[in-house]
A and B are shown apart, each in its own frame.
Chain A
Amino acid sequence: MAWPCVLLPVKQARSGAAIHPRASAGPLPGGQEQEGVSSPGLSAPLRTRPRGHSLGSASPRLPGLRWRLGPGAGRPWPLPVAPPARKGVSGAGPRAGGNAALSAARRARSGAASSGAAARSPPGTMGSMFRSEEVALVQLFLPTAAAYTCVSRLGELGLVEFRDLNASVSAFQRRFVVDVRRCEELEKTFTFLQEEVRRAGLVLPPPEGRLPAPPPRDLLRIQEETERLAQELRDVRGNQQALRAQLHQLQLHAAVLGQGHGPQLAAAHTDGTSERMPLLQAPGGPHQDLRVNFVAGAVEPHKAPALERLLWRACRGFLIASFRELEQPLEHPVTGEPAMWMTFLISYWGEQIGQKIRKITDCFHCHVFPFLEQEEARRGALRQLQQQSQELQEVLGETERFLSQVLGRVLQLLPPGQVQVHKMKAVYLALNQCSVSTTHKCLIAEAWCSVRDLPALQEALRDSSTEEGVSAVAHRIPCRDMPPTLIRTNRFTASFQGIVDAYGVGRYQEVNPAPYTIITFPFLFAVMFGDVGHGLLMFLFALAMVLAENQPAVKAAQNEIWQTFFRGRYLLLLMGLFSIYTGFIYNECFSRATSIFPSGWSVAAMANQSGWSDAFLAQHAMLTLDPNVTGVFLGPYPFGIDPVWSLAANHLSFLNSFKMKMSVILGVVHMAFGVVLGIFNHVHFGQRHRLLLETLPELTFLLGLFGYLVFLVIYKWLCVSAASAASAPSILIHFINMFLFSHSPTNRPLYPRQEVVQATLVVLALAMVPILLLGTPLYLLRRHRPHLRRRPAGRQEEDKAGLLDLPDASVNGWSSDEEKAGGLDDEEEAELVPSEVLMHQAIHTIEFCLGCVSNTASYLRLWALSLAHAQLSEVLWAMVMSIGLGLGREVGVAAVVLVPIFAAFAVMTVAILLVMEGLSAFLHALRLHWVEFQNKFYSGTGYKLSPFTFAATDD
């Protein structure tokens, strides 16, 4: 409880699973633990008692430990004794309430229950949103016969997170590795089938209904069925391929024959001979064989030029080649895509050249066909070919019909099969994390489970194991790890929890900032984004998303940016609402002021009293209203900023002063709230000394210095009136002088004896620094000293006992779990290293005290960003809209001109003021929450409970 921040370096505490060198040697608690588990399952609940007892008996000797355990008697971590667990196992009470709890858990899990469903949180706990739920480590004894059904049921419910008890065992040596492999093979087959379906251009329908993980004996059936289908599909595909290739060959042949190379070639041939004959004839005598031979075939178009060149060069021109493109593309036999071919006809003389040509065409992977010389024979062959290809096409059609039948069966089988096998694999992987009891009758699993869900867990285990005639049991065991953090959210709170989790998941049972963030985040955003018009647009956008959230089209949208906005729709809704409110206070709507109430400043009174005649007005371009003149200032504007300021030339200097002071006030309040929230942490974790030694000094420091600044601001607002405006004291100078213990004669004091008060406050605040720095370390040292002195004697005995108790039949994976639990061991043994504690506290002190200064300054971003937003929107109005409004006097002209101008105004309002400015204000609000607010109380070093669930598969 205290250890992550006090006794241990945070890093070690955080990892939790740090390998602990002593784990195998087993100091007393560890040895007990091992013994407890090595016993066969059902007696284990009883065995847990000595363990708790040993902790209890150890506590008087370890005051540090007792101090941690003592106040936590009602809390699960570290869990003191087992009674609640035993009640859960044997008691009839939880059984009776089991059903209701189960359904309640389901309701809660469905996430839609924003209200109405009765709270079933155990009495005495806060709402689950304020701190993470109580999570217990549960040992599940799953009889071998029912283990599979139990785990599969748990997967459907998503109640528990399994811990790996076999971390030291490699994946290949685990118990269910064969089944996992079988599932994987099946998945491979599924992938093949899926690919085939995709190739056929079909779309897999989504699986229908609830598909539980199939019983293990069904795996064989599914596998057989799938394999048969895959084999059939392969065969049919192979046939289809072969037929297509054959058809393709026939078609090419027909194309080559029918291409009509004949006459032209013949002409070329005769010409060629007459011209070349003399040249080619060797002096020794004419060639004996002057018969012209033909090679005909087809080649892919991109190879054709290369082929032609190579033929020419290799045969030194003893050939005539003619290339021609096909008139229409043929289907590629494998891919089915249309492909062009070049047919060629080569005539040559001489056998050797013929061989060369054949070799070259082979190299180019050309299809070479016999080419009959006689026209008549060619025609006959062509006819024959066409007939053949017709027959082939018929056969192919039949094959394809059969293929589509097979694919239809695949479409039926595949979607449910995939889900089922996926679940099955998940179950086996979970089972692989369990250890086997010594008698091999039982699997032992360890899991984190919310205490609220324990009845549901019992119920589920009983339901799924009674079918097999055995009974699986679960019971709580003491836990020495920091449990995971579980915070249930609904669709409204999820986005706010997301903001917090993005910084860091909270430590177990730490105060969760999210419920406060729900309001403060949109509020601080709105302070920077205050404009009625812009807020309204944002609100309407978010409202549209909220109203349409149940429409399937909206849900299914895949666009990442859209999804981001959609997930934050409730956040946007609140941001819009608060922007409208702050917009009213700032009195800005698209940078224009509204006067809901009459202004508090009377121009007429000023004119009357000072005698501003029309002539006087004409002479003076700029005139100032004087609040000292009777009747000019009639009182503060009741709601927000007076509209007269929007007309004034010096409105910026008014807004500057107002917004700066506002930021400081909001900042100090926000930070003080953060420090106060720390109280809940200290009380909950039983560290009441920190209330006195940390929270109180921190609050005094913060409020003594910056709270006093807020007081000065408000005091000046209330008590310094216009009459004394000339000699009004400057708060800034006062505040600086406060730290210098000096005073400046020109700066009038705000109230009598101011310097004494200020000096007292500074001294008080500075006095808090040593308390903050030394208080906690000294306190811890004092508490720890007796324990340190006694330690050596008891320690050796413990070690011995640990070694002796080390059971030979210890569960396979237990040692690894010991290692995991090592973090706590560390804590128990943690010799309180004074230097470390001091260092930790020194860092904290420096961080807090300097942080107070820098964080207060950091809140000034509220001032800067709200001014920037107001100025930007005013510039946009002045540069676009007001020019447009001034352009045309006639109605027609004005209407024509205003359309594009308004369009430009609207586009720029959305793009710059809403999106860009909104993003930057969002970012700054985020920073103010993460850094300035949360570092006052939130450590965020926990980890999330990620239950074993099929939910992702079902989707």
Chain B
Amino acid sequence: MWMLSALPGRGPAHLQRPLLGPASHLGILRPAMTAHSFALPVIIFTTFWGLIGIAGPWFVPKGPNRGVIITMLVATAVCCYLFWLIAILAQLNPLFGPQLKNETIWYVRFLWE
């Protein structure tokens, strides 16, 4: 959540997609084009990996391997969360956009919109 304040103009209100007509007549089921919020995935994934890494160890059954299993859970959570975090942070503020071929643009315009 704290990220949002650092990111002017990324609130959902600003991200209304301008309407573009031509795809509707193709009859392709178009996915609802919503703006990607940054906060939502952060909350979801932090909770998810937090559950695994912090809450998970409490549910490991007692036994000789409890320590190893807990270590595995925590390490998995840390590695996976870190990796996901790096990927999303790297795309947070793109400095340049993708360069697309005109065929691709034409195609994507109809398929993805």
Residues of A within 8 A of B (CB): 108, 113-121, 126-130, 490, 493, 515-516, 518-520, 523, 527, 578, 581-582, 585, 595, 597-605, 607-609, 612, 614, 617-618, 620-627, 631-642, 644-645, 647-651, 653-654, 657-658, 661-662, 665-666, 669, 714, 717-722, 725, 728
User: Is residue B98 contacting chain A, with contact meaning CB distance below 8 A?
Assistant: yes
Partner of A647, one of B32, B64, B93, B108: B108
Q: Shortest distance in angstroms between B63's beta carbon and chain A's nearest beta carbon?
A: 5
Asked if residues A603 and B41 are in contact (CB atoms below 8 Å), the reply is: no
CB neighbours (8 Å) of A644 from chain B are: 98, 100, 108
CB neighbours (8 Å) of A602 from chain B are: 17, 33, 113
User: Is residue B54 contacting chain A, with contact meaning CB distance below 8 A?
Assistant: no
CB neighbours (8 Å) of B63 from chain A are: 115-119
A622/B100 contact (C-beta < 8 A), A127-B68, A519-B72 known: yes
Asked if residues B93 and A607 are in contact (CB atoms below 8 Å), the reply is: no
A622/B102 contact (C-beta < 8 A), A127-B67, A515-B71, A669-B82 known: yes
Inter-chain CA distance A642–B105, complex, in Å, is 16
Asked if residues B87 and A640 are in contact (CB atoms below 8 Å), the reply is: yes
A121, closest chain B residue (CB): B64
Asked if residues B89 and A714 are in contact (CB atoms below 8 Å), the reply is: yes
CB neighbours (8 Å) of A647 from chain B are: 98, 100, 104, 108
CB neighbours (8 Å) of A722 from chain B are: 93-96
Q: Shortest distance in angstroms between A124's beta carbon and chain B's nearest beta carbon?
A: 13
Inter-chain CA distance A603–B106, complex, in Å, is 9
User: Which B residues from 77 to 102 make CB contacts under 8 A with A?
Assistant: 79-80, 82-84, 86-102
CB neighbours (8 Å) of A595 from chain B are: 112
Inter-chain CA distance A831–B22, complex, in Å, is 88
A720/B105 contact (C-beta < 8 A), A520-B79, A523-B79 known: no
Asked if residues A515 and B68 are in contact (CB atoms below 8 Å), the reply is: yes
CB neighbours (8 Å) of A604 from chain B are: 17-18, 20, 23, 109, 112-113
Asked if residues A608 and B18 are in contact (CB atoms below 8 Å), the reply is: yes
CB neighbours (8 Å) of B29 from chain A are: none
Inter-chain CA distance A644–B72, complex, in Å, is 34
Q: Shortest distance in angstroms between B54's beta carbon and chain A's nearest beta carbon?
A: 16
A612/B105 contact (C-beta < 8 A), A119-B66, A627-B94 known: yes
CB neighbours (8 Å) of B94 from chain A are: 627, 633, 722
Q: Shortest distance in angstroms between A662's beta carbon and chain B's nearest beta carbon?
A: 5
CB neighbours (8 Å) of B44 from chain A are: 638
Inter-chain CA distance A939–B4, complex, in Å, is 46
A607/B20 contact (C-beta < 8 A), A516-B75, A598-B33 known: yes
B3, closest chain A residue (CB): A718
User: Is residue B40 contacting chain A, with contact meaning CB distance below 8 A?
Assistant: yes
CB neighbours (8 Å) of B80 from chain A are: 523, 581
Asked if residues A617 and B87 are in contact (CB atoms below 8 Å), the reply is: no
Inter-chain CA distance A581–B49, complex, in Å, is 13
User: Is residue B37 contacting chain A, with contact meaning CB distance below 8 A?
Assistant: yes
Asked if residues A632 and B97 are in contact (CB atoms below 8 Å), the reply is: yes
User: Is residue B62 contacting chain A, with contact meaning CB distance below 8 A?
Assistant: yes
Partner of B113, one of A119, A126, A603: A603
A496, closest chain B residue (CB): B68
Q: Shortest distance in angstroms between B21's beta carbon and chain A's nearest beta carbon?
A: 9
A115/B61 contact (C-beta < 8 A), A598-B33, A622-B99 known: yes
CB neighbours (8 Å) of A648 from chain B are: 98-100
CB neighbours (8 Å) of A665 from chain B are: 82, 86
Apart from the given pairs A636-B92, A650-B96, A718-B3, 12 other A-B contacts in the complex at a CB distance below 8 Å? A127-B65, A599-B112, A603-B112, A627-B94, A634-B36, A635-B35, A647-B100, A662-B90, A666-B83, A718-B6, A720-B93, A722-B94
Asked if residues B15 and A119 are in contact (CB atoms below 8 Å), the reply is: no
A624, closest chain B residue (CB): B99
Q: Tell me how many residues of B have a C-beta within 8 Å of chain A.
A: 64
B60, closest chain A residue (CB): A115
User: Is residue B76 contacting chain A, with contact meaning CB distance below 8 A?
Assistant: yes
CB neighbours (8 Å) of B82 from chain A are: 665-666, 669
A601/B93 contact (C-beta < 8 A), A108-B64, A585-B87 known: no
Asked if residues B96 and A725 are in contact (CB atoms below 8 Å), the reply is: yes
Asked if residues B65 and A115 are in contact (CB atoms below 8 Å), the reply is: yes
CB neighbours (8 Å) of B92 from chain A are: 636, 717-718
Instruction: List 11 interface pairs A-B (beta carbons < 8 Å), by A numbering.
Output: A493-B68, A519-B76, A598-B31, A598-B112, A605-B17, A605-B18, A617-B105, A625-B97, A627-B97, A636-B91, A648-B99
Asked if residues B20 and A608 are in contact (CB atoms below 8 Å), the reply is: yes
Q: Shortest distance in angstroms between B95's beta carbon and chain A's nearest beta carbon?
A: 4
Q: Shortest distance in angstroms between B13's beta carbon and chain A's nearest beta carbon?
A: 13
B10, closest chain A residue (CB): A635
Partner of B106, one of A516, A578, A601, A617: A617
Inter-chain CA distance A653–B95, complex, in Å, is 12
Q: Shortest distance in angstroms between B38's beta carbon and chain A's nearest beta carbon?
A: 6
Asked if residues A649 and B66 are in contact (CB atoms below 8 Å), the reply is: no
Partner of A658, one of B34, B71, B90: B90
Inter-chain CA distance A745–B101, complex, in Å, is 37
Asked if residues B65 and A633 are in contact (CB atoms below 8 Å), the reply is: no
Inter-chain CA distance A523–B74, complex, in Å, is 13
A642/B91 contact (C-beta < 8 A), A114-B65, A119-B62 known: yes
Asked if residues A634 and B17 are in contact (CB atoms below 8 Å), the reply is: yes
B69, closest chain A residue (CB): A115
CB neighbours (8 Å) of B102 from chain A are: 617-618, 620-623
Asked if residues A127 and B6 are in contact (CB atoms below 8 Å), the reply is: no
Q: Shortest distance in angstroms between B85's beta carbon and chain A's nearest beta carbon?
A: 9
A658/B99 contact (C-beta < 8 A), A119-B62, A515-B68, A722-B94 known: no
CB neighbours (8 Å) of A637 from chain B are: 36, 88, 91
Q: Shortest distance in angstroms between B30's beta carbon and chain A's nearest beta carbon?
A: 9
Inter-chain CA distance A520–B75, complex, in Å, is 7
CB neighbours (8 Å) of A585 from chain B are: 83-84, 87
Inter-chain CA distance A597–B40, complex, in Å, is 13
CB neighbours (8 Å) of B97 from chain A are: 601, 624-627, 632-633
Inter-chain CA distance A649–B101, complex, in Å, is 7
Q: Shortest distance in angstroms between B58's beta carbon and chain A's nearest beta carbon?
A: 16
Q: Shortest distance in angstroms between A843's beta carbon and chain B's nearest beta carbon?
A: 31
CB neighbours (8 Å) of A609 from chain B are: 18
CB neighbours (8 Å) of B100 from chain A are: 603, 622-625, 644, 647-649
Q: Shortest distance in angstroms between A282's beta carbon and chain B's nearest beta carbon?
A: 105
Inter-chain CA distance A476–B44, complex, in Å, is 55
Partner of A639, one of B41, B62, B72: B41
Inter-chain CA distance A722–B7, complex, in Å, is 12
CB neighbours (8 Å) of A128 from chain B are: 64
CB neighbours (8 Å) of A601 from chain B are: 97-98
Q: Shortest distance in angstroms between A585's beta carbon and chain B's nearest beta carbon?
A: 5
CB neighbours (8 Å) of B31 from chain A are: 598
A662, closest chain B residue (CB): B86
B14, closest chain A residue (CB): A630
Asked if residues A718 and B93 are in contact (CB atoms below 8 Å), the reply is: yes
CB neighbours (8 Å) of A527 from chain B are: 83
B90, closest chain A residue (CB): A658
Asked if residues A717 and B62 are in contact (CB atoms below 8 Å), the reply is: no
Asked if residues B101 and A622 are in contact (CB atoms below 8 Å), the reply is: yes
Asked if residues A641 and B98 are in contact (CB atoms below 8 Å), the reply is: no
Q: Shortest distance in angstroms between A126's beta carbon and chain B's nearest beta carbon?
A: 7
CB neighbours (8 Å) of B66 from chain A are: 119, 127
Inter-chain CA distance A117–B66, complex, in Å, is 11
Inter-chain CA distance A597–B90, complex, in Å, is 18
A129/B67 contact (C-beta < 8 A), A647-B104, A647-B108, A665-B86 known: yes
CB neighbours (8 Å) of B109 from chain A are: 603-604, 607
Inter-chain CA distance A654–B99, complex, in Å, is 11
Asked if residues B36 and A518 are in contact (CB atoms below 8 Å), the reply is: no
Asked if residues A635 and B38 are in contact (CB atoms below 8 Å), the reply is: yes
Asked if residues B75 and A518 are in contact (CB atoms below 8 Å), the reply is: yes
Inter-chain CA distance A607–B108, complex, in Å, is 11
CB neighbours (8 Å) of A640 from chain B are: 84, 87
Inter-chain CA distance A637–B42, complex, in Å, is 11
CB neighbours (8 Å) of A608 from chain B are: 18, 20
